[in-house]
Amino acid sequence: QQESLIREGVSGFLVFDWQIQFADQKQEFNKRPTKIGRRSLSRSISQSSTDSYGSAASYTDSSDDETSPRDKQQKNSKGNGDFCIKNIKQADFGRREIEIAEQEMPALMALRKRAQGEKPLAGAKVVGCTHITAQTAVLMETLSALGAQCRWAACNIYSTQNEVAAALAEGGFSVFAWKGESEDDFWWCIDRCVNLEGWQPNMILDDGGDLTHWIYKKYPNMFKKIKGIVEESVTGVHRLYQLSKAGKLCVPAMNVNDSVTKQKFDNLYCCRESILDGLKRTTDVMFGGKQVVVCGYGEVGKGCCAALKAMGSIVYVTEIDPICALQACMDGFRLVKLNEVIRQVDIVITCTGNKNVVVREFLDRMKNGCIVCNMGHSNTEIDVASLRTPELTWERVRSQVDHVIWPDGKRIVLLAEGRLLNLSCSTVPTFVLSITATTQALALIELYNAPEGRYKQDVYLLPKKMDEYVASLHLPTFDAHLTELSDEQAKYLGLNKNGPFKPNYYR
Amino acid sequence: QQESLIREGVSGFLVFDWQIQFADQKQEFNKRPTKIGRRSLSRSISQSSTDSYGSAASYTDSSDDETSPRDKQQKNSKGNGDFCIKNIKQADFGRREIEIAEQEMPALMALRKRAQGEKPLAGAKVVGCTHITAQTAVLMETLSALGAQCRWAACNIYSTQNEVAAALAEGGFSVFAWKGESEDDFWWCIDRCVNLEGWQPNMILDDGGDLTHWIYKKYPNMFKKIKGIVEESVTGVHRLYQLSKAGKLCVPAMNVNDSVTKQKFDNLYCCRESILDGLKRTTDVMFGGKQVVVCGYGEVGKGCCAALKAMGSIVYVTEIDPICALQACMDGFRLVKLNEVIRQVDIVITCTGNKNVVVREFLDRMKNGCIVCNMGHSNTEIDVASLRTPELTWERVRSQVDHVIWPDGKRIVLLAEGRLLNLSCSTVPTFVLSITATTQALALIELYNAPEGRYKQDVYLLPKKMDEYVASLHLPTFDAHLTELSDEQAKYLGLNKNGPFKPNYYR
Amino acid sequence: QQESLIREGVSGFLVFDWQIQFADQKQEFNKRPTKIGRRSLSRSISQSSTDSYGSAASYTDSSDDETSPRDKQQKNSKGNGDFCIKNIKQADFGRREIEIAEQEMPALMALRKRAQGEKPLAGAKVVGCTHITAQTAVLMETLSALGAQCRWAACNIYSTQNEVAAALAEGGFSVFAWKGESEDDFWWCIDRCVNLEGWQPNMILDDGGDLTHWIYKKYPNMFKKIKGIVEESVTGVHRLYQLSKAGKLCVPAMNVNDSVTKQKFDNLYCCRESILDGLKRTTDVMFGGKQVVVCGYGEVGKGCCAALKAMGSIVYVTEIDPICALQACMDGFRLVKLNEVIRQVDIVITCTGNKNVVVREFLDRMKNGCIVCNMGHSNTEIDVASLRTPELTWERVRSQVDHVIWPDGKRIVLLAEGRLLNLSCSTVPTFVLSITATTQALALIELYNAPEGRYKQDVYLLPKKMDEYVASLHLPTFDAHLTELSDEQAKYLGLNKNGPFKPNYYR
Amino acid sequence: QQESLIREGVSGFLVFDWQIQFADQKQEFNKRPTKIGRRSLSRSISQSSTDSYGSAASYTDSSDDETSPRDKQQKNSKGNGDFCIKNIKQADFGRREIEIAEQEMPALMALRKRAQGEKPLAGAKVVGCTHITAQTAVLMETLSALGAQCRWAACNIYSTQNEVAAALAEGGFSVFAWKGESEDDFWWCIDRCVNLEGWQPNMILDDGGDLTHWIYKKYPNMFKKIKGIVEESVTGVHRLYQLSKAGKLCVPAMNVNDSVTKQKFDNLYCCRESILDGLKRTTDVMFGGKQVVVCGYGEVGKGCCAALKAMGSIVYVTEIDPICALQACMDGFRLVKLNEVIRQVDIVITCTGNKNVVVREFLDRMKNGCIVCNMGHSNTEIDVASLRTPELTWERVRSQVDHVIWPDGKRIVLLAEGRLLNLSCSTVPTFVLSITATTQALALIELYNAPEGRYKQDVYLLPKKMDEYVASLHLPTFDAHLTELSDEQAKYLGLNKNGPFKPNYYR
């Protein structure tokens, strides 16, 4: 099955069956900053929080070199100096981090193997702007193995793993990124990526839309040669839909944020693990017997509830949507309004995508020691600002953990100041990032190889078939064996034996 | 929240926001008999199997009156004789069954209460053709309370609960149905429903499409006054899409089979319970420690796997779709090909929607005592025909349970001859049927009240909002309290406070 | 590992290492009719309820022969007439039931195989008084294969499977039992077992103590030749402890009721499945979202709670013991007093071993449709008598299901009139009974072969090692592979490589 | 219920009903270093590992004062200098840690409240030797509130939380302990505890037996005034049983290690959470879909398996004991020998209490990236020594995480060098330690107040009733409401309304 999928892929990258304009969804994105895709936005934070745990971090932190990278003369061991990073000497350490990541990114490694025969990205000149982490490095080195030239900047001023950047520079990549850039540094780095005598990029890989924005603003003519944009974040996708709506999108763009596989992994499966991880690392709380209220029963809420129930917590759910509410009931959770349980619960978790779900009135009524955290959309769900009043005392007891103390001595335990718990206080497994990175690589290949006219100046979703292909590349990790349809069965079902196996709306 | 939803509903039935023509799905349905919706097709079987358990059944079975109902002079206690059923004396017993059903159908009862003020179906003349069960009776009496006149026939020759039919007739409904009709009886009953001097139906409620077919064939002119068709079964929906495609559909039709709520209830939640129930009632097998292979990890497979895992079985999964396969992995199931485990498993369950999933070759290799059953699509999944060979002995050991014995003495335990296990050997909770019946009622109201031109001669899905409304009517059963958006939150999310809360494709 | 265990067993049955007088436990038994062991008492009821489902039952029920078996001339096909049963013609049907049971009783079948070389019960003359079921038949035929002569009566007037009795009689066993004996018949059968010219039993296998009681009363001299009693039921064990305490026990007795394996299987694992089965067969209730209160969190309660939680119910627990209460908390259940939740729950389940746990006051406050049932000790837990008052109406809606109706129309659903749900309304898997039957066989072998003086006139528990041996004989069913200690490891742990591996009190 | 229990306790501490000499168990302990109780032995390590996460640790670590505490002149703010710690200035920080711990130790706080009326330890002079942590501080301050004078040393040279020691010294306690003592320091501190002019201890609270040993060796006459020893660790208990067996135990001793509550909490419930926590903090591994083998299915193994199964791992179990093996089967785990799965698993976890469970042969066959860790007994389970060979390369990638690299590049991930994962790499919730600390306090009260002659020179277990009392003191944390027996029910069950509710062997 996989054999044939892969073979199909080699040539098949050129043959996309479905073109989905997804008008309704665009409308969605224009209206509101949906929960969908938020994870890609913040992934870097997660990586940098990993830093503070792993040995890599301590290594970095001990660096006391205060000279700005921009002021340094930099060269790697081969004499190449077309990069700007913190410290090239950290390359060996970074290389090991990359090697560790490779083990959990089976799909990219499989793409590399296939690329020994052909180079679907031969001639591609990719400018990229993403978090610079070990996982990104595996992606970049895969793109390179597939034939692409890459120039890269960071999409976040804090998220760069300096050692990884060093390893990339040592390996010959033109990387412009370090941890702790100023805003000026940030745009300087992006510009260095794009603006090089004799270099005309033809593909953009963006995370947040800043790189795209910069080119629009400074080098609009570059778009004439650009074949497409691949964008991962919800923010970036939102910007693209707005450009498209305004008729200003001048190249095709691929939204890699909304594939089923990515959504399920990032939300349901990943949160099922990270809610436990985040709570333990910050509070060491025992889950057994604790009463918890989870606000919101979407994919994130479902993951949180399932994990906590399994650990022996008693879980209550709040919802606004009757369908999700009915699901919560059938899954064994009492559906309540927050005020019904706020006095009795030990832990409050928000995952609604909404704002002001936990307001001061609720915070006032929580019991002593109640833990409050957010797994949902940015930092709006808990009204943290309402706690910045004179009569309340804040006490930082651990990194990312504050005690907020009422005049009567009651204290609540606020995690990550209401920002995303799992990205602030735990880590995202490489295996999850692997799915996104693979989707990015395939999207680049598709846009780069698509015949003239297949893609208009619009925002596209990856077709179901590609989504299935990404999934299939991750199955060997689990030693999972897919069944292949017989000809007779395929005919009976009216399906192509190589998929797609489900309609595009299937979740 | 619910208050407002309900109020909104009263007038709001007239205001459908979204009109979904769902072209892709139609194409789907043309190609293959999908798993979607299959349950409604077979529900009657379930009801009749219920019969054989409950006391109602034994009552019925003891009836030794051999005269055909068509040959009897029938009158209820008020002298009304416009019906044809088995035995009007069974009315009291049937009334009790209806009352029991009412308790688990909260949404219809809520609709009745609202109808005390207004009658959204005043003037409606509904001809119906469905299974005649206690649940249907609750639906019919609700339609009546909403203002409709009803004439009804059975959509299946075996599924009628005679006592319920008697109670309906005694209550003044024109019912034409009994258990054990001949094919000639079947069409005679349908004709009696439709063809009455001075009666011109204006709505059709169908389950399977036979009633619609009969009117097309015999009384095509009737369609001039008919405002719409509500169809529940996959087969009937399939027929409607074909009519539509051929340009022959002459009134709007509503597909009530594919709403999220119905799908999730019928497949995931219902199968999670009925796989255990069906296996226990037929085999008394102990689940703990048993090795089970579940073929297919769609909603049905997910339900089966979750239940068996919870009961201590070791579950393997087979899949053709890499995305579902990856979900199975993440949920903790070994993904295998059937031949890898067929020798070792104690139970084989099919839920693929495919044909010939378990073929003779696999049956030959099963171990002694292996239980084989089907939770999927009709009776094609297990190649039962291949077991009808001279060297194999069949032994009926219980109702719905056959031992098939190999020459060497090995026996496998085949349930329901490969037909749907849960519908053949267990029961469907009334609460699940309540969701479908509510959706049918709302669809009738909508089509009946829609202003000219809102619905074309096409097949429509119920909009998300109605789906959410059905869900909301079932929440009070669980004493579940929905949270209402504040104005500020609704604005932030770009949502109407009364929903819909999700895009239509959300599952 | 098992090889050696088995070999060790052959001779090793003679070498009991531990002799446990268990004074504390005796004291326990004197004080109260503990929940421990209750299942054996009622097992027959289960078997007869099985009857009413399987085809065996209908066969039996169709028998309209009203002549008392005591008045019939009976002979099997070989001319032997030393038995008294319902109808020898049912032997073939009974044989098939026995063969089906053999497949789920792997340990007894393993003992038979070993007995081809030696006969550890050669010379044993066993009188037995147990339920006459297919599972008992497998035990009896195993004892016979091990060398014993057997005469058997039923310990319950309703529980005999007539077809199985016929098969045993046809096979040459002297069986005196039929379904529906009068009390006079009951003692007549027991007497026929014991009192035969030229027959002096030397072993007793009892279930309930009636056989033992009869011999004490009528033939006390027989005890001179009797080597021991094996007793399974809590009632019978209780009687033996009382005899022992009074100094009147004149032979050693083996309590097979209290082994770990039996307890865990009968209570935790079996109830985990049968609570679902019993509720479904009687009420078809949907578990998802239902609120349930389970009274008592011993092994039975733990099993019920785990199953219902897994099916999506919301479960509350009541307890008197703070340790079990803390376990309930850690397992994720709200610990409440019954009055806190009685108004809101959909299902009430008792498993306390106590009396009057659900009294009229609570029944009065239940909501309409609440289901009430008992999984605990006999029928004392729910105060059913308090419902037999004039203002309440009882309505039998199904076998084992009563609606009790209050003057205001509220009805509660009472199952099995408060008797044990799982034994009244579902079945006990043969695999569970296999464990008990194996323990009985081993206890007979041990007592029969024990050298003079090893066992005093007291009540003994089976040693841990035998318990482990029974477990090991059941592992092959699960294709489970035990690890064997290395010499070095055994020495390190201070254990014999063949066990016992745990102290006797380990649960 | 609790009200009465508490009142009963006040006087009831004097009335122990059961005296359990538990001869069999002593024998057990002589034979082997059982898994039982191991946790108390290593708790300190956990605490120190907590250090390295929390802010307390970094504070401590930044201390660059190299002078030995023994060489410093020390005084607290009241001028008291009878202590020896690292730095009295850290007292404020330590006080906050103690306050945080108090919130999770409800039972000790309840004891303190009761002590406002009476002082059951008035006149008690307790010498203690335990880990010096925030939890111990709560215990010490409780003993003080109950009337005792305390002098304390550390039982482990690394486990002292210096800030907590400072807070205790500032509060007037004579504490002799710091993090990083030399062995000479260790015994010097113990001696300073015991050997003070004019101080004659009358109670010993020991953890590991070193304090007891020191008094036996240096000040044997002290035992004349000592009323008893309370010992928590398995090692210390083992030593006491040996003394008892040799007839050299000259005062009564209480084994607080083997109470049900402590065992269940420390093993089942705590490991269920800490296996996930330990693996995440060290490796960030995703659990979903991973194949795991757990060696040993005792309480620890049961906890690990349940957690991993819930997180979507596929879990295999190895066992030597057929009863535990059968439990694993019934709980849904494949029972295998290690060699059957060693090539395919992603994670190997030992919890057998045995040695050399994972030997080099298995390590050689693991796949690349396999994670190996120990949750069982000390560091013997994995043969780590066998990995210290020249051809293997060790690489320390994080704290407590080593990659061991084979010549062909395969690497396994070894956690905590085979020491206990949860104590090395995660934390133990205060709530769990609360149970132990409460049991210690009650044991001290009982021994101190027992009338002459109640306790002989032997080792005693806490009676069931005390165990139940400890549990009851922890229920309010969960807002759990215990049901009280009616007089009639208590009589029926033959139980005292205040317990004990179960026989002593009940687990």
Q: What is the pLDDT along chain D (507 residues), one digit of tens a residue?
A: 222 222 222 223 322 222 222 222 223 333 333 333 333 222 222 232 222 222 233 333 444 567 899 998 899 999 999 999 999 999 998 998 898 889 889 999 999 998 787 899 999 999 999 999 999 999 999 999 999 999 999 998 888 999 999 999 999 999 999 999 999 999 999 999 999 999 999 999 999 899 999 999 999 999 999 999 999 887 888 899 889 989 999 999 999 888 777 778 878 898 999 999 999 999 989 999 999 999 999 999 999 999 999 999 999 999 999 999 999 999 999 999 999 999 999 999 999 989 999 999 999 999 999 999 999 877 889 999 999 999 999 999 888 899 999 999 999 999 999 988 987 888 778 888 899 999 999 999 999 999 988 899 999 988 888 889 999 999 999 999 999 999 999 998 888 999 999 876 666
**Residue C308 to chain A, least CA–CA distance (Å):** 9
pLDDT of residue D465: 87
Instruction: Tell me, letter by letter, the H, E, C secondary structure of C242-276.
Output: HHHHCCCCCCCEEECCCCHHHHHHHHHHHHHHHHH
Distance from the Cα of residue A499 to its chain's centroid: 27
Tokens standing for residue A192:
């260095």
Residues in B closer than 8 angstroms to C286, CB to CB, are 269-270, 273, 429, 431-432
**Mean pLDDT computed over every residue of chain B:** 85
Q: Do D53 and A281 touch (CB under 8 A)?
A: yes
Say if CB C69 and CB C88 are below 8 A apart: no
Residue A380 to residue A354: CA distance in whole angstroms:
7
Asked if the C-beta of B307 comes within 8 angstroms of chain C's C-beta atoms, the answer is yes
Q: How many residues in total does chain B contain?
A: 507
Kind plus residue range of the DSSP H or E element containing B411: strand B411-415
Whether residue B317 is predicted with pLDDT greater than 70 in this model: the reply is yes
Residue C414 or A503, more confident: C414
b/e per residue, A168-184, with b = 16+ CB within 10 A? bbbbebbbbbbbebeee
Q: What is the 3-state secondary structure (H, E, C) of B426-456?
A: CCCCHHHHHHHHHHHHHHHHHHHHCCCCCCC
Which residue, among D335, D284, D289, D322, has the nearest Cα to D308 in the 3D structure?
D289
Is A495's Cβ below 8 Å from some Cβ in C? no
In sequence order, the 6+-apart residues with CB closer than 8 A to the CB of C375 are C271, C274, C275, C278, C300, C301, C304, C349, C350, C351, C420, C421, C422
Measured between beta carbons, which residues in chain D are less than 8 angstroms from residue A307? Answer: 310-311
Q: Which two tokens stand for residue C370?
A: 């609440």
The pLDDT of residue B21 is 26
B16-69 pLDDT, tens digit each: 222 222 222 223 333 333 333 333 222 222 222 222 222 233 333 444 567 899
A253-267, A401-415, B74-88, D173-187, range with the lowest pLDDT:
A253-267
Tell me how far apart the terminal alpha carbons of chain A are, to the nearest angstrom: 22
How far apart (Å, rounded) are the C-alpha atoms in residues D193 and D367?
52
pLDDT tier for residue B504 given thresholds of 50, 70 and 90: low
Residues of A in contact with B1 (CB under 8 A): 320
* CB-based contact C273 B287, cutoff 8 Å: yes
Give the tokens for residue A14: 């050129």
Task: Output D17 or A289, whichever has higher pLDDT.
Answer: A289
* pLDDT averaged per 10 residues, chain C (length 507): 25 27 29 31 28 30 68 92 96 91 91 86 97 95 97 91 96 96 95 95 95 96 95 87 91 88 82 94 93 95 97 98 95 98 98 94 96 88 97 91 95 94 81 90 94 91 88 94 94 90 71
Give me the helix-helix angle, D430-449 and D106-114, nearest 10°.
30
- pLDDT tens, residue by residue, A218-231: 999 999 999 999 99
**Would you place residue A65 in the very low, low, confident or very high pLDDT band (cuts 50, 70, 90)?**
low
Q: Which amino acid is at B200?
A: Q
Which stretches of D425-471 are assigned E, i.e. beta strand?
459-461
pLDDT at residue D104, rounded to an integer: 86
Average pLDDT, stretch A350-362? 95
Q: Which domains does chain B have, with CATH numbers?
A: 73-258+450-478 (3.40.50.1480), 269-425 (3.40.50.720)
Q: Given pLDDT bands bounded at 50, 70 and 90, which one contains residue A447? A: very high
Q: Chain C 234-293, CB below 8 Å of chain D: which residues?
A: 260-261, 264-265, 269
Q: Pick out the residues of the known binding site of C for NAD(+).
A: 298-303, 319, 422
A309 contact C CB<8A: yes
Handedness of CA D317, D323, D324, D329 (dihedral sign): positive
Per-residue model confidence (pLDDT) at position A504: 67
| Cα-based distances in Å from C88 to A202, C92, C95, C182 | 91, 9, 12, 20
Helices (runs of H) and strands (runs of E) counted in chain B: 21, 15
Does any CB of chain D come closer than 8 Å to the CB of residue B331? yes
pLDDT in tens, B232-258: 887 888 899 889 989 999 999 999 888
- Is the CB of D312 less than 8 angstroms away from the CB of B331? yes
Average pLDDT (B339-364) is 96
A483, B319: Cβ pair inside 8 Å? yes
DSSP for residue A384: G
Size of interface A-B (CB pairs under 8 A): 174
Cα distance between residue B399 and residue C53, in whole Å: 9
Q: What is the mean pLDDT of residues A333-351?
A: 97
- CB of C395 closer than 8 Å to CB of C405: yes
Spatial strand order of the sheet with C125-130 comes to C174-176, C149-154, C125-130, C203-206, C228-231, C253-255, C459-461
pLDDT score, position A11: 25
pLDDT at site B506: 66
Q: What is the pLDDT of residue A25?
A: 29
pLDDT above 90 for A405: yes
pLDDT, position C18 = 26
Backbone angles phi, psi at A45, to 5 degrees: -60, -40
Q: Please give the residue that has the higher pLDDT: either B212 or C29.
A: B212
Residue range A82-127, pLDDT digits in tens: 999 999 999 998 998 898 889 889 999 999 998 787 899 999 999 9
Question: Is A158 a residue whose pLDDT tops 90?
Answer: no
Optimal mutation site among C26, C295, C297, C321, interface D, most CBs of chain D within 10 A: C321
Name the residue among C32, C325, C329 with its Cβ closest to that of D493: C32
pTM, two decimals, is 0.86
- How large is the ipTM? 0.82
For residue A325, give the nearest of B319, B353, B482 by CB distance: B482
Question: Comparing C-alpha atoms, which of C15, C36, C78, C18 is closest to residue C298?
Answer: C36
pLDDT tens-digit profile of B183-201? 999 999 999 999 999 999 9
List the one residue out of D102, D156, D99, D153 whose CA is nearest residue D126.
D153
Contact C337 D481 (CB under 8 A): yes
Q: How far is CA B131 from CA B104, B152, B165, in A?
A: 18, 10, 10
How far is the C-alpha of C302 from the C-alpha of B24, rounded, in Å?
Answer: 49
* C277, C369, C478: residue with CB nearest B289: C478
Q: Produce one character per residue of A144-157: b if its CB has 16 or more CB atoms within 10 Å, e if not.
A: bbbbbbbbbbbbbb
Question: pLDDT-based confidence at A493, cuts 50/70/90?
Answer: confident
Residue A62 in this model has a pLDDT that exceeds 50: no
> Residue A2, Cα to own-chain centre: how many angstroms?
26
Chain B partners within 8 Å of A494 (Cβ): 31-32
